[in-house]
Amino acid sequence: MSKKILVTSALPYANGPIHLGHLAGAYLPADIFVRYHRLKGSDVLYICGSDEHGVPIMLRARDEGVSPQVIVDRYHNMNKESFAGFGMSFDYYGRTSSPEHHRTSREFFKTLADKDEFILNKEKQLYDPKAGIFLADRFVRGTCPNCNYEDAYGDQCEKCGTSLSPKELKNPRSAITDATPIEKESTHWYLPLSKYQEKLEAWINSHPEWKQNALGQVQSWFKAGLNDRAVTRDLPWGVEIPREVARKYGEDGKGKVLYVWFDAPIGYISATKEWAEQNGTPDSWKDYWQKKDTRLVHFIGKDNIVFHCIIFPAMLMAHGDYVLPDNVPANEFLNLEGNKLSTSRNFAVWLDE
């Protein structure tokens, strides 16, 4: 029997339509690759779906005065239709608001907690005194400390690509009310990435064939040294952490959800489970995720390199039951008039048009 190939494209945020930048970066190349392997007779499965728990979704919902569920339902259906209209040949297109995804993500988190993989930290985080909520990464905007771009997000500067934390921004402001944030203490679960640095480096070094943009960005993170990464957030929208896990750590877990970049890549797994169920073979997802000779290939944009080459692989290593990516083709941004196409900034050529 030939080796199985599992191909994923980055899950698009369901906060707006798909644009040509998305298509050129993570979807069209993957579709060509998959069609080629189908012609060869390879055992290939192509999985994608909507990422429905990002902070941009909450921002759009607030702007429109509707619930986040209204937003994700609208754009999940619109984008699924746009992809179908363009001829994308996904074997399954899921969504991270599904019961299966919530169940799979919570089980994944609990497995890591049962193995004592998390560190619990109390620290001061930015808080909007007007809105009365903690500000997750993308709820904070300010000046990038690296390039001085004045509208950088709290997790990344779109101008220079530098990964950031909200406290690193100069002149931070709330993306909700424009108020100047204050600091307030909160407790969160952290994944100790430094524990996995040596193992991650050895794994990355075994893949010299990867594209240089991916290898270069990953090596720069290794050189700086990996830090603990928070995998929970104080938000009213997302996958709630299991209360039994919270109680184990002496917390109640109320108001805590999984960080979107913890639950989103698990969406590849939950969507594969849903495909297997729909296919009438509910256990066949394991053949693509848990057989060591499976070739897992993630097609992404370059802004997702760190998550697919460091954070998600560290999660998979910590869990222990899943294969690691065989390749992560990361493509550059499609620019228009010198600027990156962007859904959140409403600057794009939309696929549905």
Task: Tell me how many domains the chain contains.
Answer: 1
Angle formed at CA 35 by CA 76 and CA 52, multiple of 5 degrees: 15
3-state secondary structure 98-116: CHHHHHHHHHHHHHHHHCC
pTM of the model: 0.89
Output the pLDDT for position 2.
66
Helix (H/G/I), strand (E/B), else coil: 292 = coil
Distant-in-sequence, close-in-space partners of 107: CB < 8 Å, separation ≥ 6: none
* DSSP state at residue 137: G
- Helix 99-114 with 312-319: angle, nearest 10 deg: 60
E-assigned strand segments in 242-341: 256-258, 295-301, 325-327, 330-331, 335-336, 339-340
70 within domain boundaries: yes
**Element containing residue 9 per DSSP (H, E):** strand 4-9
The count of C-alpha atoms lying within 13 angstroms of the C-alpha of 313, restricted to the half-sphere facing its C-beta, is 26
* DSSP state at residue 87: T
Q: Comparing C-alpha atoms, which of 292, 327, 320 is closest to residue 199?
A: 320
Looking at residue 236, which CATH number applies to its domain? 3.40.50.620
Output the pLDDT for position 1.
47
Instruction: Tell me how crowded residue 116 is: count the other CB atoms within 10 A of its CB.
Output: 8
The count of C-alpha atoms lying within 13 angstroms of the C-alpha of 297, restricted to the half-sphere facing its C-beta, is 21
Output the pLDDT for position 297.
98
Domain containing residue 303: 4-135+176-340
pLDDT digits (tens, 9 = 90+) for 73-120: 999 999 999 999 999 999 999 999 999 999 999 999 999 999 999 999
353 within domain boundaries: no
162 within domain boundaries: no
296 within domain boundaries: yes
**Element containing residue 50 per DSSP (H, E):** strand 43-50
pLDDT < 70 regions, the chain: 1-2, 344
30 within domain boundaries: yes
- Burial class of residue 346 in the structure, from the number of CB atoms within 10 Å of its CB (0-12 exposed, 13-18 middle, 19+ buried): exposed
156 within domain boundaries: no
169 within domain boundaries: no
Output the pLDDT for position 16.
87
Distant-in-sequence, close-in-space partners of 195: CB < 8 Å, separation ≥ 6: none
Residue 118 CA from chain centroid, whole number:
19
5: which 2 tokens? 């190939």
245 within domain boundaries: yes
105: which 2 tokens? 């993500």
